[in-house]
């Protein structure tokens, strides 16, 4: 019912918007100067794509336009320092700011809805704010900037969210976000970045790298793969997660000493826990019963506890450098629990090897990750309802 209402809302909105698109307020346009932009200031709604590329402009101000039915691309303007959209409320298309190396000010006081938002290669931009609150967006990407503050993200759902290579970004929080229908990627930002995604309940694919801290207290279901790799946090707790349809990877987190997934019962792909050398006890999965892929636990641990494990359809690889570890309990799993042909349990190993990095067995390091995983990655599409309720045409 809600989906039908959303589709109807989009249809009505687009119908209303079309009434304001006519004459000089319609058509694709290439901007070379502020004078070109000023020709649009009487258009509350503009229908068409706007491109500002390789100009000599130092400032850009889009006045008058409240709704854009098309894409707005601003790229490769070497002297551009300031961008302002004082009236812009919604974009039924993309907003792309690319390779504007002098840009230091971005003003979007009224913007609340758009389909795709992309910032890339903006080495002078220190902050991105949505004062009115960005409530609706399908894809959001911010990469290769010096942004230290990202504020005003208010959406409850999104398809794809990517925050990468923003070396000054130390805090990231989206309080209303509950669902990621595509991929969520946070990687290679400030090494001090702490991420608060406590409201997220479901996602398709999650990739988390180089984080100082992460909070996902409400995450319950992952319909694809999720990975935590080369982070510096000491604790990773996912208290609510019950199932992962794909592969769960927790690897090379050099300070991790507390890992807890107390509700996880099923993995549709593999479980890979490797290279977390401060994790001396692997007891994070007290309710894990089924693993449809391979079970791969490698590190410096003294103990592995999997009390409810009943079915592993792939192989098993447990290797540790500790001399205090006993394979006795693990070897019992070979009797009916492990269905795959590959089985290895080793202690006192000088260089423990992850089985998921092999293609020819557990002793070959040359092949790609997930060669032994039976994971199938599902994708969900989360439709964007792009609605502006009040428009003066």
142 and 209 both lie in a single domain: no
Residue 186 CA to chain centroid, in angstroms? Answer: 5
Write out the two tokens for 174: 């989206």
Q: Is pLDDT larger for residue 12 or for residue 350? A: 350
249 and 332 both lie in a single domain: yes
210 Ramachandran zone, left/alpha/beta (phi>0; psi -120 to 50): left
In a domain, 40, yes or no: yes
CA atoms of 235 and 16, how far apart (whole Å):
51
Q: What is the mean pLDDT of residues 356-366?
A: 44
State the pLDDT at residue 370. 29
Rg, Å, the chain Cα set: 25
177 and 230 both lie in a single domain: yes
Question: Taking a C-beta distance cutoff of 8 angstroms, is the pair 102, 126 a contact?
Answer: no
State the pLDDT at residue 355. 77
The SS3 of residue 271 is strand
Write the CB contacts of 343 (distance below 8 Å, at least 6 apart in sequence): 315, 316, 317, 334
Residues 300-304: contacts with CB under 8 Å, at least 24 apart = 300/352, 301/325, 304/329, 304/330
CA atoms of 296 and 279, how far apart (whole Å):
15
CA atoms of 262 and 275, how far apart (whole Å):
21
98 and 204 both lie in a single domain: no
Q: What burial class does residue 29 get, using C-beta atoms within 10 Å of its C-beta: 0-12 exposed, 13-18 middle, 19+ buried?
A: middle
Question: Taking a C-beta distance cutoff of 8 angstroms, is the pair 90, 113 a contact?
Answer: yes
For the chain, give the mean pLDDT.
88
State the pLDDT at residue 363. 45
Tell me the pLDDT tens digit for each residue of 185-203: 999 999 999 999 999 999 9
- Answer whether residue 8 shows pLDDT above 50: no
Which residues on neighbouring strands pair with residue 209, listed in sequence order?
A: 229
In a domain, 174, yes or no: yes
Domain count, the chain: 2
Tell me the pLDDT tens digit for each residue of 319-347: 999 999 999 999 999 999 999 999 999 99
Write out the two tokens for 280: 């001396």
- Answer whether residue 47 shows pLDDT above 50: yes
127 and 174 both lie in a single domain: no
pTM above 0.95, yes or no: no
State the pLDDT at residue 125. 98
Write out the two tokens for 29: 């346009």
State the pLDDT at residue 264. 99
State the pLDDT at residue 23. 57
CA atoms of 216 and 235, how far apart (whole Å):
12
User: Picking from 64-73, 162-171, 272-281, 346-355, which range would have the lowest pLDDT averaged per residue?
Assistant: 346-355
- Answer whether residue 364 shows pLDDT above 60: no
Q: What is the mean pLDDT of residues 365-380?
A: 30
Write the CB contacts of 15 (distance below 8 Å, at least 6 apart in sequence): none
176 and 146 both lie in a single domain: no
State the pLDDT at residue 146. 98
96 sits in which H/E element: strand 90-98
CA atoms of 62 and 109, how far apart (whole Å):
12
Nearest to 375 by CA among 251, 244, 275, 250: 244
243 and 344 both lie in a single domain: yes
- 310 φ, ψ (degrees, to nearest 5): -120, -20
174 and 305 both lie in a single domain: yes
In a domain, 204, yes or no: yes
Write the CB contacts of 65 (distance below 8 Å, at least 6 apart in sequence): 40, 41, 43, 44, 45, 46, 85, 87, 88
The SS3 of residue 103 is coil
Which residues on neighbouring strands pair with residue 52, listed in sequence order?
A: 31, 74
- Answer whether residue 100 shows pLDDT above 80: yes
In a domain, 158, yes or no: no
In a domain, 390, yes or no: no
Tell me the pLDDT tens digit for each residue of 217-271: 999 999 999 999 999 999 999 999 999 999 999 999 999 999 999 999 999 999 9
129 and 174 both lie in a single domain: no
The angle subtended at Cα 352 by Cα 348 and Cα 355, nearest 5°, is 135
CA atoms of 67 and 249, how far apart (whole Å):
43
14 sits in which H/E element: helix 2-18
CA atoms of 202 and 218, how far apart (whole Å):
9
CATH code assigned at 120: 3.80.20
147 and 200 both lie in a single domain: no
Q: What is the mean pLDDT of residues 4-18?
A: 38
State the pLDDT at residue 18. 40
142 and 198 both lie in a single domain: no
In a domain, 387, yes or no: no
In a domain, 165, yes or no: no
Q: What is the mean pLDDT of residues 69-74?
A: 99
State the pLDDT at residue 24. 85
Question: Taking a C-beta distance cutoff of 8 angstroms, is the pair 275, 297 a contact?
Answer: no
**Banded pLDDT at 357 (limits 50, 70, 90):** low
CA atoms of 267 and 304, how far apart (whole Å):
18
Question: To the nearest 10°, the Cα dihedral for 361, 364, 369, 371?
Answer: -30
Q: E strands of 198-263, at which residues?
A: 202-209, 213-215, 221-222, 226-229, 235-237, 243-244, 248-251, 258-260
The angle subtended at Cα 215 by Cα 211 and Cα 218, nearest 5°, is 145
| Residue numbers of the domain that contains 219 | 170-181+191-382
228 and 318 both lie in a single domain: yes
Give percent above pLDDT 90 in the chain: 83
**Banded pLDDT at 48 (limits 50, 70, 90):** very high
In a domain, 353, yes or no: yes
């Amino acid at each position: 019912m809600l989906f039908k209402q959303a589709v109807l809302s989009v249809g009505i909105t687009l119908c209303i918007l079309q009434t304001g698109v006519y004459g000089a307020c319609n058509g694709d346009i290439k901007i070379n100067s502020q004078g070109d932009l000023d020709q649009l200031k009487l258009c509350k709604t503009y229908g068409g794509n706007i491109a500002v590329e390789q100009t000599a402009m130092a400032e850009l101000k889009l006045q008058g336009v409240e709704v854009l039915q098309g894409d707005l691309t601003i790229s490769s303007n070497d002297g551009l320092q300031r961008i302002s959209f004082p009236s812009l409320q919604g974009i039924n298309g993309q907003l792309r700011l690319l390779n504007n190396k002098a840009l230091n000010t971005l003003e979007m006081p009224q913007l609340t809805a758009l389909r795709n938002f992309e910032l890339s290669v903006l080495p002078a931009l220190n902050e991105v704010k949505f004062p009115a609150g960005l409530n609706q967006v399908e894809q959001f990407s911010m990469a290769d900037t010096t942004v230290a503050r990202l504020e005003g993200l208010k959406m409850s759902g999104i398809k794809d969210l990517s925050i990468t290579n923003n070396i000054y970004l130390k805090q990231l929080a989206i309080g209303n976000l509950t669902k990621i229908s595509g991929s969520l990627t946070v990687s290679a930002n400030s090494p001090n970045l702490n991420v608060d995604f406590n409201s997220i309940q479901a996602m398709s694919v999650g990739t988390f790298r180089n984080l100082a801290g992460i909070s996902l207290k409400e995450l319950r279901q992952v319909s694809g793969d999720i990975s935590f790799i080369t982070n510096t946090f000491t604790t990773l707790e996912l208290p609510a997660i019950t199932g992962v349809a794909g592969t769960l990877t927790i690897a090379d987190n050099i300070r991790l000493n507390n890992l807890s997934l107390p509700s996880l019962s099923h993995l549709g792909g593999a479980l890979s826990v490797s290279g977390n050398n401060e994790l001396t006890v692997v007891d994070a999965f007290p309710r894990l019963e089924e693993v449809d892929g391979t079970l791969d636990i490698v590190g410096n641990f003294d103990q592995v506890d999997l009390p409810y494990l009943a079915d592993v359809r792939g192989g098993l690889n447990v290797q540790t450098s500790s001399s205090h570890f006993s394979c006795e309990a693990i070897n019992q799993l070979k009797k009916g629990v492990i269905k795959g042909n590959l089985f290895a349990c080793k202690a006192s190993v000088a260089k423990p090897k992850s089985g998921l990095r092999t293609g020819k067995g557990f002793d070959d390091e040359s092949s790609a990750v997930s060669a032994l995983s039976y994971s199938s990655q599902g994708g969900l599409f989360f439709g964007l309802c792009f609605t502006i309720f009040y428009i003066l045409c």
